[in-house]
Structure 1
Amino acid sequence: MRQQRFIELGEGYSDIYELCELISANSSRLKRTFLFTSTTPDGKRVVSLAASFAPAGEGGLFPIYICREGIPSREGSISKRQQVFEEAAASVDSKPVPVDIKHSSEFPETKLFYQYLTGILRLNHLLPPLDDPYRPVL
């Protein structure tokens, strides 16, 4: 049975470069890249960068690596970190999908935030549905 799981990286430059390296090194497994935009409780816009990958081998884990809410978003310009991410995505023919979401601070636990985010992505067909646990395995 497949699992979909967010794997959180940090929000600094080194974390963005790690995400870009994951995209480059695993380009054959890359499914999508994302730009999640949200608003902090004090009204500032922030961006989360993410990339989803197909499972490796028989493992069944469908990982979504994310750098959560560490990048300020300004109208009409993009930060250097976002630019680096978009260039890495473009180098493997992926255009990041922009998605407006609630800020994680609106949830009492990070786990609930990721459940919400998974639901948004599935409803918009940006993540595949999980295997039906009640369907017989042939």
Structure 2
Amino acid sequence: MIQRFILLGEGYNDLYELLEIARSNHSRIHMLLRLDTKINHQEKSSLVLILHPAEPGKMMPFYLCLEGIHNPNSKPTERYRLFEQLSKQVEKTIHKLEVKSSDQFEENDLYYQYLIGVLRMNRYIPPLQ
């Protein structure tokens, strides 16, 4: 199985796209995820939608809005409220993890490999087959 991050961006339009992908693929949702980090002494969060592979495909997509919102524990935001509303609509819990920030990695691919390792270690996603 291929597990791949698909970067959407940081803005409202990117979040709206993530929300629509979740609503239109309700039956495929594996997990909703919030990744908390610190960037330049600011607490930020990434929002992730993980889907089960499409049939008969073998790719598990991770749709990512990268570090685009303030951590809701320190500063509640409208964007996170929309993500919480989605969680209630699709009846899925938002899982939370604290991770390193993407600016600690030279390339996005290295950051994504790190995140996949963290997700596997926490048993949020299945191991490679």
* TM-score tier after normalising by the smaller chain length: over 0.9
Counting helix residues as a fraction of each chain, which structure ranks higher? 2
Matches within 5 A, 1:114-125: 114-125=112-123
Q: Distance in 1 between matches of 2:90 and 2:52?
A: 15
Question: Number of residue pairs matched?
Answer: 129
1:130 aligns with 2:128: yes
1:97 aligns with 2:91: no
Q: Gapped runs of 5+ residues in structure 2?
A: none
Q: Which residue of 2 aligns with 1:52?
A: 50
Q: What's the secondary structure of 1:28's corresponding residue?
A: helix
The Cα shift of 1:89 comes to 1.9
1:29 aligns with 2:34: no
Q: Distance in 1 between matches of 2:90 and 2:104?
A: 34
The Cα shift of 1:87 comes to 0.7
Q: Gapped runs of 5+ residues in structure 1?
A: 132-138
CA RMSD between the two structures: 1.1
Q: Distance in 2 between matches of 1:78 and 1:122?
A: 29
Q: Distance in 1 between matches of 2:127 and 2:72?
A: 34
CA contact (8 A) 1:23 1:89 kept: no
Percent sequence identity over aligned pairs: 37
The Cα shift of 1:74 comes to 5.3
